[in-house]
């Protein structure tokens, strides 16, 4: 499971304050904590500061990469901010995200095609949010084929089928899961990714619901996630699900995590 | 008399609520009283939600029960209405916003108050409002929006209506959680409806109705 650490996001108040104050130490500590907890990419988002996003996103990349030897997941729909951040970025970043929305797609395509980057392909089009698995698969097919036509490698594509709250429509969870399964089987070698906390919006016991949903999604083939790696129970759950679904050779990851005291239930 | 109905609605007893509504109708209760009870119940549900006793699915379920009751009652009200001149309200959630629980309640109450309502749904761009106004010829347009970004969409929609030369023909009311008087002024709408009843009252004030 490829974990993208989600914490350095300017929509969180503490992070926004740290960015504005130029507080390197705090940002670097959070980057390190996430790396130690198993993150393989560090998501960076400065989207709350519309007029200074370019400057702040660049600063985040530099600050994070001084502290950890990991690539970033550049979380912005703004090509100018991405380009500036890419200039200072070391290694192969993940671009979060492109979609079938015309404007977003046209602007971001040149950024992704020119390079061997990983890219998150969000199942969203100008027609709005997908509701059913069929909606998602239609968008995913069009978007993936479009990216392939533009010489982006299949294994660099991370399709995000988009998680929506079951509190507002009880079919949303099921339709998401179905779409993960179908996308993974239709495009052998592709990846699926998601930020899944939205699934529990409007309900009590959100963390518990999120963990349960994670296990279900892993069973369908989900192989990447944007989440809080400091959530120990969630991380334990990921390891357990991977072992149970046969994606952990001889269950060694799970056993080692247990020995290291990381399986917190 | 409507206490049982209110109780059933507030306690999320779907079958019971529908049965109560039917029984009340059968026993000759004025449909308006039933609708009144429904809006009282919705108010209580809203309060529980605000206190954290109820969760989002409660709001959704209450909306669903409301819709079913309105489906039973609407035909009865249509009859009354056909004698009077058509009073039409167009309503929708503006571009970029998909919140519709509040809008649906407003629609419901307008319908049960004898207005002919066309609900164009969520995330509707200004063009769609304009098109629908041309088609449906409403006297009142209602725009719903809960996101801050919806304020700009509302403003754009009012502007588009103006550009299309339709501004004089319609009164525009807006509503949704965060909407304030300042927002109303910003968007150029005629009035703000802090809740669904206020929306009905505005429509009545503008184009009549008992
Ligand atoms: C339910 C809900 C959702 C549901 C919507 C389901 C649905 N089918 O509507 C879901 C989960 C999908 C959702 C999604 C999002 N939501 Co939301 N959501 C809410 C929530 C919890 C309740 C809203 C609600 O339905 N209230 C109950 C109804 C009855 O009240 P109401 O809409 O205000 O309507 C009443 C009056 O205002 C009035 N009225 C309404 N419309 C009209 C129109 C007219 C003409 C008139 C006269 C009167 C009128 O009458 C109604 C009845 O009295 C609020 C938080 C809150 N506590 O309010 C957040 C909230 C509105 N959401 C918010 C956000 C940010 C989002 C998301 C962007 C979250 C995300 N990051 O994904 C997305 C938005 C996607 C989009 N593009 O719109 C924010 C908005 C912040 C802001 N200032 O922009 C809020 C305030 C939560 C928060 N505190 O952050 N959300």
Flag whether pLDDT at A212 surpasses 90.
yes
Domain presence at residue A111: no
The predicted structure's pLDDT at residue A104 = 84
Query: Which structural domain range is residue A240 located in?
Result: 231-265
Write the residue in A128, A169, A202 that is nearest to B55 by C-beta.
Answer: A202
Give me the interface pTM, i.e. the ipTM: 0.76
Residue B167 Cα distances to B121, B138, B163, B170, B175, angstroms: 21, 12, 8, 6, 18
CA distance to partner chain B, nearest, from residue A166 (Å): 9
Residue B47, C-beta contacts closer than 8 angstroms, at least 6 positions apart: none
**Omega before B188 within 30 of 0, i.e. cis:** no
| Helices and strands (H, E) in chain B, number of each type | 9, 5
* Chain A with chain B: Cβ pairs closer than 8 A: 19
- A37-53 confidence digits (pLDDT tens): 999 999 999 998 988 99
What is the atom index within ligand 1 of the atom nearest the CA of B179? 37
- Cross-chain residue pair B56–A129, CB shorter than 8 Å: no
Two tokens, residue A230: 């400091």
Ligand 1 environment, Cβ below 6 A:
A 165, 168, 201-202; B 56, 59, 96-103, 105-106, 142-144, 146-148, 173-178, 193, 195-196, 198-199
In this prediction, residues A213-239 reach a mean pLDDT of 97
Angle between helices A206-220 and A172-186 (to 10 degrees): 30
Angle between helices B14-26 and B31-51 (to 10 degrees): 160
Going from N- to C-terminal start, the domains of chain B cover: 3-76, 88-207
Q: Which residue has the tokens 């592709």?
A: A190
CA of B147 to the centre of ligand 1 (A): 7
B36 touches chain A (CB under 8 A): no
- Domain end marker among A91, A108, A134: A91
Residue in B40, B46, B102 to alter for ligand 1 test, most ligand atoms within 8 A of Cβ = B102
- Cross-chain residue pair A204–B57, CB shorter than 8 Å: no
CA distance to partner chain B, nearest, from residue A187 (Å): 31
| A contacts of B57 (beta carbons < 8 Å) | 167, 202-203
B149 touches chain A (CB under 8 A): no
The count of C-alpha atoms lying within 13 angstroms of the C-alpha of B81, restricted to the half-sphere facing its C-beta, is 19
| Helices and strands (H, E) in chain A, number of each type | 10, 8
Domain presence at residue A137: yes
- Domain end marker among A91, A110, A126: A91
CA of A261 to the centre of ligand 1 (A): 42
- A58-95 confidence digits (pLDDT tens): 999 999 999 999 999 999 989 999 999 999 999 999 99
Helix (H) or strand (E) holding A227: strand A224-227
In this prediction, residues A90-112 reach a mean pLDDT of 90
Interface list for B 42-61 with A (CB within 8 A): 55-57, 60
Flag whether pLDDT at A158 surpasses 90.
yes
- Say if residue A192 is in the same domain as residue A238: no
- Cross-chain residue pair A167–B123, CB shorter than 8 Å: no
Tell me how many domains chain A contains.
3
CB B209 within 8 A of CB B199: no
**pTM (two decimals):** 0.78
Which CATH number, 3.40.50.620, 2.130.10.10, 1.10.1240.10, 3.40.50.300, labels domain B3-76? 1.10.1240.10
| B contacts of A204 (beta carbons < 8 Å) | 55
Domain topology for B88-207: Rossmann fold (3.40.50)
CA of B177 to the centre of ligand 1 (A): 6
Q: Search chain A and give the residue with CA nearest B56.
A: A202
- The CATH number for A193's domain is 3.20.20.20
Distance CA A151, CA B144 (A): 43
The overall average pLDDT reported for chain A is 94
A167 touches chain B (CB under 8 A): yes
Per-residue confidence band for B190, with pLDDT thresholds at 50, 70 and 90: very high
- B55-88 confidence digits (pLDDT tens): 989 988 998 898 899 888 878 775 555 555 689 9
- Say if residue A77 is in the same domain as residue A124: no
C-alpha Rg value of chain B to the nearest Å: 17
Flag whether pLDDT at A167 surpasses 70.
yes
In this prediction, residues B183-210 reach a mean pLDDT of 90
Domain presence at residue A100: no
The predicted structure's pLDDT at residue A227 = 96
Range picked from B103-107, B159-163, B205-209 for highest mean pLDDT: B159-163
- Say if residue A155 is in the same domain as residue A171: yes
In this prediction, residues A178-191 reach a mean pLDDT of 96
CA-based torsion, A129, A135, A136, A138: positive or negative: negative
Write the residue in B60, B98, B123 that is nearest to A167 by C-beta.
Answer: B60
CA distance to partner chain B, nearest, from residue A211 (Å): 20
Distance CA B71, CA A190 (A): 47
């Amino acid at each position: 499971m490829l974990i993208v650490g989600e914490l350095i996001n300017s929509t969180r108040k503490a992070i926004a304050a740290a960015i504005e104050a130029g507080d390197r130490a705090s940002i670097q500590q959070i980057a390190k904590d996430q790396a130690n907890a198993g993150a393989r990419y560090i998501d960076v988002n400065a989207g709350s500061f519309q007029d200074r996003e370019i400057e702040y996103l660049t600063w985040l990349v530099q600050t994070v990469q001084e502290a950890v030897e990991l690539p970033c997941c550049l979380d912005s729909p703004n090509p100018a901010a991405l380009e500036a951040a890419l200039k200072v970025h070391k290694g192969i970043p993940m671009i979060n995200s492109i979609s079938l929305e015309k404007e977003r797609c046209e602007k971001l395509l040149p950024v992704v095609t020119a390079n061997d980057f990983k890219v998150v392909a969000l199942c969203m089009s100008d027609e709005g949010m997908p509701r059913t698995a069929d909606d998602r698969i239609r968008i995913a097919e069009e978007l993936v084929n479009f990216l392939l036509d533009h010489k982006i490698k299949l294994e660099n594509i991370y399709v995000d089928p988009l998680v929506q709250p079951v509190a507002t429509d009880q079919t949303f969870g099921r339709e998401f899961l179905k779409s993960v399964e179908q996308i993974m089987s239709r495009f052998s070698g592709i990846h699926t990714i998601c930020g899944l906390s939205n699934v529990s919006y409007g309900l009590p016991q959100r963390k518990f619901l999120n963990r349960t949903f994670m296990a279900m999604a892993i069973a369908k083939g989900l192989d990447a996630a944007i989440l809080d790696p400091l959530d120990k129970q969630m991380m334990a759950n990921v390891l357990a699900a991977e072992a149970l679904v046969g994606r952990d050779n001889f269950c060694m990851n799970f056993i080692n995590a247990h020995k290291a005291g990381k399986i917190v239930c | 008399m409507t206490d049982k109905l209110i109780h059933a609605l507030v306690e999320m007893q779907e079958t019971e609520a529908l049965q109560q509504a039917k029984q009340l109708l059968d026993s000759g209760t004025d449909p308006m009283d039933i609708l009144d009870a429904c809006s009282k119940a919705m108010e209580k549900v809203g309060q529980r939600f605000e206190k954290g006793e109820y969760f989002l699915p409660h709001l959704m379920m209450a909306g669903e029960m409301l819709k079913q009751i309105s489906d039973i009652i609407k035909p009865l009200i249509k009859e009354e209405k056909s004698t009077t001149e058509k009073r039409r309200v167009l309503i929708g959630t503006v571009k970029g916003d998909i919140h519709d629980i509040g809008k649906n309640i407003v629609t419901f109450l307008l319908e049960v108050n004898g207005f002919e309502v066309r609900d164009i749904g969520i995330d509707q761009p200004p063009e769609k409002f304009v098109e629908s106004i041309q088609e449906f010829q409403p006297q009142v347009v209602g725009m719903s929006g809960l996101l801050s970004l919806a304020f700009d969409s509302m403003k754009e929609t009012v502007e588009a209506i103006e550009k299309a030369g339709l501004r004089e023909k319609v009164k525009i009311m807006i509503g949704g959680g965060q909407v304030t008087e300042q927002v109303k002024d910003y968007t150029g709408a005629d009035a703000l409806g802090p809740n669904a009843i206020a929306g009905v009252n505005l429509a009545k004030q503008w184009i009549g109705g008992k």
